[in-house]
Structure 1
Amino acid sequence: MSHHEHDLGLSHDLPKIVERNRLGRRGMLSIFGGVGAAAALAACSSDSGTTISSTPEGAPPGGPGGGGPGGGGPMGAESDVEVAEGEIPEETAGPYPGDGSNGPNVLSESGIVRSDITTSFGDASGVAEGVPTTVRLKVYDLNGDDITVLSGAAVYLWHCDRNGDYSMYSEAIADENYLRGVQETDADGMVEFTTIFPAAYSGRWPHMHFEVYETLADATTYTNKLRTSQLAIPEDVCDAVFATEGYEQSVTNMEQTPLESDGIFSDGYSLQMAKATGSVAEGYTLTLNVPI
């Protein structure tokens, strides 16, 4: 039987990825290093034509921007203090990680290193439907008093689809592997993923999962991970998205599980609450600092 390239694993992909980096992928991605600088808060609205810039009340900013790390200027004393508030919490990967810790391991498959995770790869061909969403994460290394961006690390991001299902696990999409992907942090510690807005499923506040690895070569099995955590999504943005077609069940589910009773975020979420900008019509951008 002949083997397709996607059967050869990440080790097959790495030489191509290294070459692409040499030819300028880092330079292309570095344009995202200044994303999110000084975004002003706007009044919340569910109008699909209204742009929202959202930070939850009472929660210190977790996303790049403002005076915090990942903003438009060089990192100064104020941003050092904000990052030094603590490492992003270690959280469970949940029952559907796809990293080899509970069943399938998508990390070993050729094709998993990609920025657009809306489609499946390899033998699968499904496309996840939903409100377009960009996720930007900036990874920091908290090494004592020395706070630096963590370049050359790898981030594995995954989340449920518009129906609350997880690819590779949920019966309806067990043969798909979309909404899962790995990216290498650029010289500014940034990664970016193109995806769709996830559902609120029963028992959980709307969220995304991610793992951080020291290098891309390490991102082949969960045993090499440096940190596992989850990103929370602001309520006003969820309300706007869940008012659209396809997300109807999410309205009820989110009402039944507020942040204060969510099994992950109920003990605190200030470092995990993403900043959100955009609109239903134009899509949303979620940004988050990830100090580890």
Structure 2
Amino acid sequence: MPHDHEGQRVSRRKLIAGISSLGLGGLLAACAPDAAPAISSTGAAVTPRATTAKDLTSLFDQAGTCTLSPATTAGPFYFDADRIRSDIREDRQGVRLRVAIKVQDSETCEPLRDAVVEIWHCDAAGSYSGAESRASGGGSAGAPPDDSADLEPLDDERYLRGAQVTNADGIVEFTTIWPGWYQGRTIHIHAMVHFTDARVLTTQVMFDEALNTEVLAQAPYTDRPDRDTRNDDDGIYRDDMLLKVTKDDDGYLGVIVFAADSDRDGA
């Protein structure tokens, strides 16, 4: 299988189109041991199924609740970043964070296999790739007036953005850094789930404030003191958006379950 840390230049839309035309079974069969990489209808080799560093299924023992995950707008800094990869850090400095997400159907509680999960967030300085001139560590100043509209990227940076396809257990795993903060928002990560050709969930995840304080006391986060918004003051925060976070070697591991309506367009 091709190594994905550099991020294959395959757009999420093209990946889905390739899966649709090739047949998902044939595409995933090509990812079996010793099999040749699958080729999408675009002619690009793709790695559809997420792989994890270790078995994470036990972390989701409490995933049997079928409560629909809270939906939010995508915010002003979303765009299709053309990055199918698990490690989204690139050159960004910060405390290492592994994020494991299990996607399940909100009606059946069954794992949602072959769903595309995207995440994106700001760096330790509060900037978003593709929108540094607008974000500038200071929130959404200069962002499009409709924050549900996809952004037209303003630069070639693509750090802290990536997509993975859920495995048979409905799980994807990303390696990133603990996000920084920007004016008016608590610390958060954006996420979007696509199933077939629809956006079935757009949401955000947050962190326990004791852990935020612990992480932000370290470099490079200390270069931006005086954070102005915490969970209790954030207009989007909900308790069920909290990652379950544990220590993980020199960083942290955060897990969460997304329950999505696979028959509904959640754009």
Question: TM-score normalized by structure 1?
Answer: 0.65
Kept in 2: contact 1:134–1:286 (CA 8 A) = yes
Gaps of 5+ in 2: 1-6, 34-46, 137-153, 261-267
Q: Any idea what SS the aligned residue of 2:232 has?
A: helix
Amino acid at match of 2:55: F
CA distance in 1 between counterparts of 2:69 and 2:210 reads: 23
1:112-261 map, 5 Å: 112-119=83-90, 127-143=91-107, 146-171=108-133, 174-215=155-196, 218=197, 224-248=198-222, 251-253=225-227, 256-261=228-233
* 1:289 alignment partner in structure 2: 257
Q: Are 1:23 and 2:1 matched, yes or no?
A: no
Q: What secondary structure sits across from 2:158 in the alignment?
A: coil
Displacement of 1:202 in angstroms is 1.3
Moved more, 7-16 or 174-183: 7-16
By how many angstroms is 1:271 displaced?
A: 1.6
Shift of residue 258, structure 1, vs aligned partner: 2.5
SS at match of 2:55: helix
Paired position in structure 2 for 1:272: 241
Percent identical across equivalent pairs?
Answer: 31
- Matching of residue 95 in structure 1 with residue 76 in structure 2: yes
What whole-Å deviation, never above 9, does each CA across 1:59-78 have from its counterpart, x for those lacking one?
xxxxx35xx12xxxxxxxxx
Structure (1/2) with the larger helix percentage: 1
CA 1:231–1:20 in structure 2 vs 1: closer, same or farther (change >3 Å)?
A: farther
Q: CA RMSD in A?
A: 2.9
Q: Supply the distance in 2 between the matched residues of 1:282 and 1:128 (Cα, whole angstroms).
A: 16
Distance across 2 between alignment mates of 1:153 and 1:12: 11
Which residue is 1:34 aligned to? 57
- In the other structure, the counterpart of 1:45 is none
Rounded to whole Å, the distance in 1 between the matches of 2:224 and 2:216 is 6
How far the C-alpha of 1:262 sits from its partner, in A, is: 0.3
Give me the whole-angstrom Cα distance separating, in 2, the residues matched to 1:276 and 1:235: 11
- Counterparts in 2 of 1:7 and 1:22: CA distance versus 1, 3 Å: closer
User: 1:20 Cα shift?
Assistant: 7.7
Are the aligned partners of 1:232 and 1:273 in contact in 2 as well (CA < 8 Å)? Answer: yes
Count residues in correspondence: 214
Q: Which letter maps to 2:57?
A: G
TM-score by length of 2: 0.71
List alignment gaps of at least 5 residues for structure 1: 37-63, 70-79, 99-104, 120-126, 219-223
